[in-house]
Amino acid sequence: TELRRCVEVVQGYCLARREVRFDLVHEGRTLLTARATSADGNGLRGRIGQVFGQPFKERLSPIGPKELSAGGTVYGFVGDRETTRGRRLFVFVNQRLIRDRALLAIFYRAVRKEWKSDQFPALFLFLDVDPQNVDVNVHPQKTEVRFRDTGFLGGVARALSKTLAESRGEEAAFAELVE
């Protein structure tokens, strides 16, 4: 389990720092190789493919990028129902990998609401926020944050709900009925 946690941390750095090449070797065996990619959304999807496999990246729906009314941007990817196996929940605030209970709770609520399920898909969530609007000194290991504007979390919830609804085809079906 210690090795698994180490691999997860390196996977997180791979996702956050797409412009850097990573090679993870344990006892002479290469566990992960990730070439440098571009820092934009295409680079993120490519990096996810390097880390988790090319077929996996095809099962992802994009989140945003969406400018939030409370300031900041939310973007990333959420998986489909086939990605519920394994815990691939990666949340970043200003490129810092975090394990924030409030943000994960928003995701869990959105999945329960939109999918009516307790099986959670893969999540690669990136939040870019003005450093003045986020407190990173909430947890000694800097794994939790607190947003100064609580409206920011509402914007994140709306972006996640919209993407989850689209990933199950709800909006496409509705658009066909309207036409």
The pLDDT tens digits for 83-129 are 887 778 999 999 999 888 889 999 999 999 999 988 999 999 999 99
CA 133 to chain centre: 20
* Coil vs helix vs strand at 99: coil
> What pLDDT is stored for residue 14 in this prediction?
94
Counting as low any pLDDT under 70, the low residues of the chain are: 39-42, 169-179
Q: Taking a C-beta distance cutoff of 8 angstroms, is the pair 111, 84 a contact?
A: no
How far separated are the first and last CA of the chain, in Å rounded?
52
pTM of the model: 0.86
CA–CA separation, 59 vs 41, rounded Å? 15
Q: Which residues contact 112 (CB under 8 A, 6 or more apart)?
A: 118
> What pLDDT is stored for residue 92 in this prediction?
94
